[in-house]
A and B are shown apart, each in its own frame.
Chain A
Amino acid sequence: MFGQKFSTAGNVTYRLGPMPSLTALIPNQPEFIIEVMPAKAPPASTQHHVTVRLDGGRHVADPAQLQIAEGDVVTWAAPDATTPPFTVDGTGPSGPFSSAAMRHEAIYTHVFTAPGDYHWVDAHGSSLAGDIHVNPVAGDTEQDRQAWLDSLRQGTLIHIQGTDFSPASVQLTVGMTVFWAVERTNGIAIADSRLAPNIPRLPEGTPMPT
């Protein structure tokens, strides 16, 4: 799931696609609209959810048009696991936003479906990186299964602000969700290091750039 907070009133338009560079090449890619209304009272953020699905080979948003208030968050996710990965790229009164380059008050979540050790990196090559240890599920009785499903309600947060992030390493059980809350960066994309093998890695102990 990708989420973006919209803190400035005005019209936001965005497109969905496989990745920003490819989305621009797909003809007649539909444009979706978010109308951000001025907040009337002290902002109490509301979450609005957009379902992403594939229609005629193109990613489409449901609903295609949203009206939200300043300070609200919009989230996008594809409930059908067969939907190809997608990015959200748009622009609004606060400037551009993209799930492939999260800059300001953005959220990215991932459900870890297989046990193992994962190393997440910024696909754009910054020094932001961390480790996630996913443990297998113990037990296979009905009680074990229910206890596991109950445990999945707990998420794990990784907070990123500038070049600082915390925690650097997290432990969880398979099926659990990690939330990356990107408060302010130059634009990052969270990726599994195995899927981004060409990203140069800094030697251990290298100080973070300021």
Chain B
Amino acid sequence: MTDILAAVDETDATDLIHEAEMVLGTQSASGSSSFGPFTAGYNASATFSGGSVTLSAPNVVHLTNCTLAYSLKFSFGIDLNKVIPPLCFPQVCIPIPFDGQICTPAFCITWPSITVPVSYSDTLTFSADFGVTVASSSSDWLVNFVVIGIPSLNLSATATGLLAAIGAAVTAIVSAVPLIGPFLALAIGAIMALITIAALTGWLGALLTPFVSGLTLTRPVPKQIQVSTTPAVTVSINSLTADVQVTDKNELVVSADI
């Protein structure tokens, strides 16, 4: 027999999800992957916040307009010799007071390979369906909201922002290359032409999708609860279930045996 039966509506379920988002905290990942002709080593972190819950029986929690705030740090390398022509200095001759004419030898320089570090933070919103399950840890019952399927992320706007950030980073690094002056616009143009929005969108998708696919938001419920009575009473929850049920409206129903 169920000893405690609690039903929460969509407003309270939304609060539960927000608490679970805070419990989840910051997720991070690192690795190396390619966009266009470049390979970038990256560190990515993400947090979830907000969103509104609608409940659908049987056992589906719809979360809409959840905010994914992410931060990326990555760097990629470019051999400038592959994007701009070689620079060859002519022979320079000058008359010397104690001699005839002295000439320097003509020579060509090799452009350096550069590393472009990029830091970029942005937010995007997404919607996802979650199933509700309950698991047990040593001290808590864990009400888990487990994402169903792979939510779709709309990355076109954020990819445009990232492209601008990459452009600024490339400009800063290339500008510091000695003798680049007359080749600056040429170099930046050539590098940026290699980075397309489509490639960036795909790259961002590969980086950010793992944060939302398999996303589990957890709201812990202590197995033992102190009740403020005299004398104090400790209530032990021996089992817990949670699912979305149809009562007079759709509700998230939590049942506990104590």
**A interface residue numbers (CB < 8 A to B):** 1, 3, 5, 44-45, 47, 49, 51, 73, 75, 77, 79, 81, 105, 107, 109, 111, 113-115, 136-137, 139-140, 144-145, 148-150, 152-157, 159, 161, 174-175, 177, 179, 181, 183
B90 CB contacts on chain A under 8 angstroms: 149-150, 152-153
A-B contact pairs, 19 of them (CB 8 A): A49-B105, A51-B105, A77-B104, A81-B110, A105-B99, A107-B96, A114-B179, A140-B185, A149-B89, A149-B90, A152-B90, A153-B90, A153-B93, A155-B94, A155-B104, A157-B94, A157-B96, A177-B92, A179-B102
B102, B107, B109: the one contacting A73 at CB < 8 Å is B102
B98, B101, B109: the one contacting A5 at CB < 8 Å is B98
| 7 other A-B residue contacts (CB within 8 Å) besides A113-B178, A150-B90, A181-B98 | A81-B109, A105-B98, A153-B90, A155-B104, A156-B94, A159-B97, A181-B96
Asked if B182 and A3 sit within 8 Å, CB to CB, the answer is no
> Which 10 A-B residue pairings sit nearest by Cβ, starting from the closest?
A113-B178, A137-B181, A155-B94, A140-B185, A155-B92, A145-B182, A177-B92, A137-B182, A79-B107, A181-B96
A3 CB contacts on chain B under 8 angstroms: 102
Interface size on B, residues (CB 8 A): 29
Main secondary structure of the interface of B (DSSP, over half): mixed
Taken together as a complex, chains A and B put the C-alpha atoms of A47 and B179 apart, in Å, by: 28
Asked if A181 and B92 sit within 8 Å, CB to CB, the answer is no
A149 CB contacts on chain B under 8 angstroms: 88-90
B184 CB contacts on chain A under 8 angstroms: 140
Among B90, B110, B181, the most chain A Cβ lie within 10 Å of the Cβ of B181
Asked if A140 and B102 sit within 8 Å, CB to CB, the answer is no
Q: How far is the CB of B130 from chain A (nearest CB, A)?
A: 54
Asked if A107 and B102 sit within 8 Å, CB to CB, the answer is yes
For chain B, residues 78 to 120, give those with C-beta under 8 angstroms from any C-beta of chain A: 88-105, 107, 109-110
A184 to B, closest residue via Cβ = B98
B194 at the interface (CB under 8 A from A): no
